[in-house]
Amino acid sequence: MTLGAPPSIASRRAFAAVVALLLAPGLSGCASMGLSAMSATAPAGFSARKEPLIIPLFVASTRRDDRARTPGYDTPKSNAHFTFETISVPPGHKAGQIELPSWGKANAREHFVVTQTSPVEVDNFTSQIATHLSGRVGSNRDVLVFVHGFNTTLDEARFRLAQLTADGRFGGVPVLFTWPSTSSVLSYVSARENATISRDALSKLLTDISRTPGVGRIHLLAHSMGGWLTMEALRETSIGGQRHLDGKLGNVMLAAPDIDLSVFRQQMQRIGSGANIAVFSSTGDRALSLSSTITGDRTRLGAIDPANARDRAELAKLGVKVYDLSAISDGWINHGAYASAPAVVRQIGAQLTRPRQDDSQTTSVIDAGVEKSRPQTTVIEAKPLDALAAQ
């Protein structure tokens, strides 16, 4: 989580006691929330699938040890390394869930399983992306980059991206950006340092993808501290002269972003108006409430209240779209509703697959020309679950 100045010893001890309770085994982690069974309704036709669904994806990692089962004992590389992977989603999968075994070995009929992992040379990464995009039409030419948050293992991150891809019916190319996010309850500052070290690698990844022949839009979905990392990477590309990734930037979706509002304001100034940024917020997010406490009661972007006149005015000035998830609960900590609530996942999928002008005439091939950027709009929405599901 994003932290400011170090708190006093007394406040750290008090915070430690509360966090130790909140993040006890079975509750820990940003991405791990919602991995257990939940009440969810599968989209029509999904439960009728007889065979596992195979999700191909690319992984860009700054972890030194991608085999580690728990985060926190790794330090980041300054440059990313790459793999191509396939994830098997079980035929009985329910939207919002990641089916994992309670004990024993996973099997593809009932659980999420990694079925293939192949290293990709750095120099061949964009050509591999181009190959997967070649021949595609419309939104299927798009790339979705997922950036996870604090306390997230590689398995949690890649399974989450596969789940979001399946549930959101995304037909483009998914890419996971994973970084060593630490696991110690009191390692928020250390996690942010790891994210900072990984910032250049994410910026380079986005730049390289934007220059890949045939690519459509580049969407970003980031959770918690991953939201801060994503905004910093976009800020870097803007400073470097590639604002909005030269017209390739699509939807930027920040789920429960652990970003100080003043920091976010500065990031937006650099990124510039016209970026299609959406924030999934919840006033009941206890993880962000704790982050606010340890940073001196500084409001986190993901906990902002669009129903509050002052907060709404602030968001209007920033020019971002807001989805209020306060009416949705994914557990007591309530930090992962963006992925575990089927209605929200459907909304994310609708954002990604929304048609744009001339899509029917635009096909991705290796020598495709540059696509014109689409116009952007500024909308503020604060809707409960029933309104969100109806969109």
Q: For residue 247, is pLDDT > 80?
A: yes
Structure tokens at 185: 């309850």
Give Rg (Cα) of the chain: 20
User: Class of 9-356+376-390 per CATH?
Assistant: alpha beta
Residue type (1 letter), 299: T
Q: For residue 21, is pLDDT > 70?
A: no
Question: Quick one: pLDDT at residue 304?
Answer: 78
The secondary structure of residue 280, as a DSSP letter, is E
Burial class (CB in 10 A: 0-12, 13-18, 19+), 26: exposed
* Among 147, 215, 209, CA closest to 176: 147
Pick 376 or 194 by higher pLDDT. Answer: 194
User: Model confidence over 181-223: pLDDT tens digits?
Assistant: 865 556 667 777 888 899 999 999 999 999 999 999 999 999 9
Structure tokens at 168: 């959101």
Evaluate whether 174 touches 147 at the Cβ level (below 8 Å).
Answer: no
Neighbouring residues of 51: CB distance < 8 A, sequence distance ≥ 6: 91
pTM score of the predicted model: 0.78
Strand ranges, E, within the chain = 53-63, 76-89, 113-120, 143-147, 173-178, 218-223, 249-255, 276-281, 321-324
Q: Which pLDDT band, with edges at 50, 70 and 90, does 16 fall under?
A: very low
Burial class (CB in 10 A: 0-12, 13-18, 19+), 360: exposed
User: Model confidence over 51-80: pLDDT tens digits?
Assistant: 999 999 999 999 987 655 555 456 677 789
The secondary structure of residue 260, as a DSSP letter, is B
Residues 311-332 have a mean pLDDT of 74
Q: Where are the domains of the chain?
A: 9-356+376-390
